Structure 1
Amino acid sequence: MRMLRAVLLLSTVALAVPAVIAGTRVTLVHEARLKLSPAARQVLVRRDLASILTGPASTTGIATKPYPSLERELCRRDVIEVSYAQIGSGKNLRYEPEGVKPVEVQYRYLDLPGSHSLADRRKACASLGGTESAWVSSREGDHYVSFALSRLAQALVDVQAGAGVTLHCEDKELDCAAAFRTAARKVSSASRCAGTAPECYQYFMGDWNVTIVVEYPGNTRQTTIKLAPADIVVT
């Protein structure tokens, strides 16, 4: 609870955001709160934050409840990590919260059949609230993450069908298709490839770094999947 209180206190800096940024008028949410005292506004914003900070917690961070992203195929949650100052030394050493690190955004790909409403998506996302695994971290934003995860889902279909896909593994004796199917269950991050290739995405999947490139020669989709062992980090 101490950690949560620290997050709620630190988050009140949002109240200092001006109404006009770079010449663009910002529409205020709860504009009526401007008529309240600073103390009253702080109570309301703390209450709002407490209502969404209901996801899994680590020793120093906590996730919001999942909610629909800007893209129809995605749920997302935001992970807030508290930064701490080291105070004192030796037996008197302690750590006190002093800030919030950049928010980490995590995604889950929705596989809802047919058309679905915002209410359907909100319900589907809410059902993921207690899960800690299978969330994909990315700094790319909702739009590109939607492409990355939809391309991954399509690649799994193509590999299963054995059509329109080429797989490359550094280990020539490895069953590359089986390795990819297994790895895809452990995807934890997604990003666009560096460079100019418009349909190239990179993923971290357990023990593998995976690159998926989608091209359309002759208006036919051709997917190339490359698996390389992930770098071992010694801590």
Structure 2
Amino acid sequence: MATVILVRHARSTANTAGVLAGRTPGVELDATGREQAERNGARLRAVPLVGVLSSPLDRCRQTAQAIVDHQDSGLTVRVEEELTECDYGRWQGRALTDLAREELWSVVQRQPSAAVFPGGESLPAMAARAVSAVRRVDAAVEAEHGPGAVWAAVTHGDLVKAILADALGLHLDLFQRLHVHPASASIVRYTPTQPHVVAMNTDAGDLSWLRARANEPPVGGGAGPAAPAPAS
């Protein structure tokens, strides 16, 4: 089984402005976001990735580029359209404080499975395409590179949460209980029997243990990865 590292894009100018960017072109990382992306890229350098896929939007591509810049294999960022942000329709570009007064806001927070953005996409449709894309690419990665392969998918917060909810077996109505910070990394392995969520919403810690072949954990959880070597 291959392993996917799900990375939310680092902090963007829209995040700091409190605006729902959606698919608005030209939304890039701010200064803090560029630092976050660099730290994430340095952290993932410990893992020899076989591929880095990204949403087509600038903030994700910038975050993904920081990952490949730290890899030694000459990887390039590959754009995956199905990893793009939710189509928020007429909500796109509006301030979050204004949107919070809309009746639909409580539906998005409490019953996402019923949320359809005006002139845009539904949250179930977003979740379905994100999960389908990750599972499809993961199967292709394993077929090409073997069961120990590790790849990264750089996308948006709601998509990462939807993919994690699916892997955890959670109904979409519970996905808002998950938190995914900018530039965080979550790790999922898809096995022939079920997905395994290895980590969620991490922004620090050694990842070199992912170099080892990702075998399905035994009953009881196994012994876990060896402790990292102490810093010299």
Shared fold per TM-score greater than 0.5: no
Higher relative contact order (CA 8 A, sep 6+): 2
TM-score norm. by structure 1 comes to: 0.26
**Structure with a larger share of its residues in helix:** 2
TM-score norm. by structure 2 comes to: 0.26
Whichever of the two has the greater Rg, that structure is 1
